[in-house]
Amino acid sequence: MDARMALISAIADLEEEKALQLVRRRLAAGEDPMAIIEDCQEGMRLVGLNYERQNYFLAGLIMGGEIFRQIMELVKPKIESNLCPGQVTGRILLGTVQGDIHDLGKNIVNMLLSCRKFTVCDLGVDVPPRVFLHAVEDVHPDIIGLSGLMTISYDYMRETVTLLREHGHKMPVIIGGSLVNENICRYVGADYWANDAMRGIELCERLVAQSQNVP
């Protein structure tokens, strides 16, 4: 089994020490930390799949999130050392919308954004539309990220976007979740969508760079 598959399997099987050891080994070998994170994401996807299939209980899902958090602590210094001085960053408002308490994907995005020197305001889970509205008026984010894993989430995403637009807030809204797609994005009225954490991070970087007229 190659290093990539070994790490994916260790995370998927919730083998904490093995996963951390593999990450340390790959970092010591000079591997790209973002490539390591992508493999970790695949492992976490399998953890989520096992949870959906009831092979894991909630404790397994939480443990997977803790393994990922510890891995992020290992790779964060490497990512930060690769950033250019003065690299464009922005302020992101995140939250899982009302009616949904899933936060694993949101937490991964939060950690990755923080590694990329974004300022992140995380409202948590089950966040009503008006709480998003008040937070926007307090935080003045460059981008708003609405997370949701359940189908009921999409109606609350739509309600949130409608409320924000009615109050004149025009900053980009990104919806995230493993099941979101272009059709759901249109239904919600959001500007962008991402069903993969790395895609979401790259999208945030591009949008902030564009807003600040950075080539």
**Class of the 3-82 domain?**
mainly alpha
Residues in the chain, total: 215
SS3 call for 102: coil
Decide which of 3.40.50.300, 3.40.50.280, 3.20.20.70, 3.20.20.100 is the CATH code for 91-211. Answer: 3.40.50.280
Per-residue pLDDT of the chain (215 residues; tens, 9 = 90+): 799 999 999 999 999 999 999 999 999 999 999 899 889 989 988 998 898 889 999 899 889 989 998 998 999 888 877 765 556 579 999 999 999 988 888 988 998 898 888 999 999 999 999 999 999 999 999 999 999 988 899 999 999 999 999 999 999 999 999 889 999 999 999 999 999 888 899 999 999 988 876 55
Q: How many CA atoms does the CB half-sphere of 193 hold within 13 Å?
A: 19
Distance of alpha carbon 133 from alpha carbon 109, whole angstroms: 21
Q: pLDDT tens across 108-165, in order?
A: 899 889 888 899 999 999 999 999 999 999 999 999 999 998 889 999 999 999 999 9
Would you kindly state where each structural domain of the chain is located, as residue ranges?
A: 3-82, 91-211
